[in-house]
């Protein structure tokens, strides 16, 4: 079996003789094998790692082979089987595979050739492959989010139906209170409208209950895994981070040991500004919005809670708010707080220690300073300092 140290080592094309680019769908795998002499061979085989590995052993015996394919709906099963057989395999993000601007023909064979060529040239970087507990955690997180979206969609449809029929919503503030639900179930209206309204209420109620059950299963799953449980407790020590946002962070980050520096996490979650700079001119735009948009939305909501709990984050929010035009000041400031919160979460995970809030007296004597690179620093303390 391929050692973990080899799997995690940087991919160097000179260490391999053959480069296999795979284009995978649910029935077939299109494979292009190439070598340093630019000899290429393309084949199409059934979707089976056993067929792929048997062909590789038969035609390239004793030669180091590197495989690569794009991340997609087929998951990581192919990766698991290839690496278990002792081969190097890269799973790459489709958006990061180099493509010629003038390329107007796309087929599975050409895609496999493109991946093989890019792999041979060292132009591909593998995504992090989560271990089994984190994969299972992702399933539960995605399932809960699915039910929440379905419940929200049903609520929107209910309000749209009432608006179309000219029926006022039971709650004047538009809130979905227990009393509002009770009045909706007895609201007088025409028979077809009543039937549609009852079905929408049933859909919303069902989705809400399924979301609650999934949240309980998330809690149970994390509680029975020592690493997940301890890491989740550390995450929840940060202001604004509850169990739902914490489990989503865990599912998306995966193994916290792979975090190299604190700026990596906000970049991964799309909370850093775009930049198009040249020479001495720095031109920064809106945030990149890469990564999981649902998690990014949860972190922005967590930032609003964090500024009410952490005086330092509140001061930071006010400073950013005051230096921006009023129409966009709040949005820019809270996004900056979310970025800062992500960096502090990265520190929590890297150092494996809980978040500690400073009291008011500490803030007056130990002011936060910024390094030339913009990284937040705190003066050294004799006692355990808060996470920077």
- Strands 273-275, 88-92: parallel, antiparallel or unpaired by DSSP? unpaired
Give a yes or no: residue 383 inside a domain: no
The reported pLDDT for the residue numbered 100 is: 85
Residues 190 and 84 in one domain: no
pLDDT band (50, 70, 90) for residue 357: confident
Give a yes or no: residue 73 inside a domain: yes
Among candidate residues 65, 98, 120, the one where a domain is terminated = 120
Residues 31 and 139 in one domain: no
Give a yes or no: residue 196 inside a domain: yes
Rounded Cα distance, 102 and 208, in Å:
48
pLDDT digits (tens, 9 = 90+) for 285-337: 899 998 899 999 999 999 999 999 999 999 999 999 999 999 999 999 999 99
Among candidate residues 95, 120, 145, the one where a domain is terminated = 120
The reported pLDDT for the residue numbered 85 is: 94
Structure tokens at 329: 């000041």
| Of 343 and 362, more confident | 343
Residues 270 and 373 in one domain: yes
Among candidate residues 224, 243, 267, the one where a domain is terminated = 224
Residues 197 and 83 in one domain: no
pLDDT digits (tens, 9 = 90+) for 155-196: 999 999 999 999 999 999 999 999 999 999 999 999 999 999
204: Cβ contacts below 8 Å, ≥ 6 apart: 151, 154, 155, 158
Average pLDDT, the chain: 88
The reported pLDDT for the residue numbered 385 is: 34
The reported pLDDT for the residue numbered 359 is: 61
Residues 113 and 153 in one domain: no
The reported pLDDT for the residue numbered 101 is: 85
Residues 184 and 218 in one domain: yes
pLDDT digits (tens, 9 = 90+) for 244-291: 999 999 999 999 998 999 999 999 999 999 988 888 788 888 999 988
Residues 167 and 112 in one domain: no
The reported pLDDT for the residue numbered 103 is: 82
Residues 189 and 100 in one domain: no
Rounded Cα distance, 39 and 34, in Å:
5
Residues 295 and 321 in one domain: yes
214, pLDDT greater than 70: yes
Give a yes or no: residue 171 inside a domain: yes
106, pLDDT greater than 60: yes
pLDDT-above-90 percentage for the chain? 79
Mean pLDDT calculated for residue range 14-36: 95
Residues 356 and 306 in one domain: yes
Residues 147 and 116 in one domain: no
- Residue 177's Cβ-count burial label (10 Å; 0-12, 13-18, 19+) is exposed
pLDDT band (50, 70, 90) for residue 7: low
The reported pLDDT for the residue numbered 279 is: 80
238, pLDDT greater than 90: yes
Give a yes or no: residue 339 inside a domain: yes
Give a yes or no: residue 247 inside a domain: no
Structure tokens at 41: 């061979």
- Strands 28-35, 40-46: parallel, antiparallel or unpaired by DSSP? antiparallel
Q: Domain count of the chain?
A: 3
Whole-number Cα distances in Å, 306 to 196, 301, 335, 336: 41, 9, 12, 12
Please give the helix or strand (H or E) that residue 230 lies within, else none. helix 226-236
The reported pLDDT for the residue numbered 212 is: 97
Residues 216 and 103 in one domain: no
The reported pLDDT for the residue numbered 163 is: 96
- The answer to whether the beta carbons of residues 286 and 321 sit under 8 Å apart is no
Q: What are phi and psi of 311, to 5 degrees?
A: -60, -35
pLDDT digits (tens, 9 = 90+) for 221-235: 999 999 999 999 999
Give a yes or no: residue 239 inside a domain: no
Domain that includes residue 350, residue range: 255-377
The reported pLDDT for the residue numbered 136 is: 96
Which CATH number fits the domain that encloses residue 36?
3.30.420
Give a yes or no: residue 237 inside a domain: no
């Amino acid at each position: 079996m391929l050692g973990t140290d080899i799997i995690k080592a940087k991919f160097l094309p000179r260490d391999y003789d053959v480069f296999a680019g795979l284009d995978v769908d649910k029935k077939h795998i299109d494979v292009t094998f190439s070598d340093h002499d630019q000899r290429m061979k393309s084949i199409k085989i059934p979707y089976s790692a056993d067929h792929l590995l048997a062909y590789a052993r038969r035609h390239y015996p004793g030669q180091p082979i590197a495989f690569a394919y794009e991340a997609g709906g087929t998951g990581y099963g192919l990766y698991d089987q290839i690496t278990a057989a002792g081969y190097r395999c890269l799973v790459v993000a489709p958006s990061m595979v180099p493509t010629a601007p003038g390329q107007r023909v796309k087929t599975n064979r050409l895609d496999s050739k493109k991946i093989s060529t890019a792999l041979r040239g060292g132009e591909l970087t593998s995504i992090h492959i989560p271990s089994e507990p984190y994969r299972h955690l992702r399933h539960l997180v995605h399932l809960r989010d699915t039910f929440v979206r379905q419940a929200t969609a049903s609520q929107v449809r209910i309000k749209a139906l009432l608006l179309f029929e000219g029926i006022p919503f039971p709650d004047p503030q538009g809130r979905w209170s227990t009393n509002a639900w009770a009045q909706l179930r007895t609201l007088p209206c025409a028979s077809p409208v009543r039937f549609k309204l009852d079905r929408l209420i049933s859909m919303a109620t069902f989705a809400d209950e399924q979301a609650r059950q999934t949240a309980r299963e998330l809690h149970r799953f994390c509680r029975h895994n020592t690493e997940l449980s301890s890491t989740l407790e550390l995450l929840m020590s940060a202001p604004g981070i509850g169990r739902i946002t914490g489990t989503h962070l865990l599912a998306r980050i995966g193994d916290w040991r792979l975090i190299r520096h604190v700026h990596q996490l906000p970049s991964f979650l799309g909370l850093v500004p775009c930049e198009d700079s040249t020479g001495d001119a720095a031109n920064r735009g809106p945030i990149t919005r890469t990564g999981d948009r649902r998690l990014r939305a949860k972190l922005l909501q967590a930032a609003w809670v964090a500024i009410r709990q952490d005086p330092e984050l509140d001061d930071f929010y006010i400073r950013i708010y005051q230096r921006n035009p009023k129409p966009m000041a709040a949005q820019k400031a809270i996004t900056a707080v979310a970025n800062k919160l992500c960096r502090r979460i990265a520190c929590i995970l890297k150092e494996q220690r809980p978040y500690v809030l400073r009291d008011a007296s500490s803030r007056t004597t130990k002011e936060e300073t910024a390094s030339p690179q913009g990284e937040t620093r705190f003066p050294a303390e004799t006692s355990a300092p808060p996470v920077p």
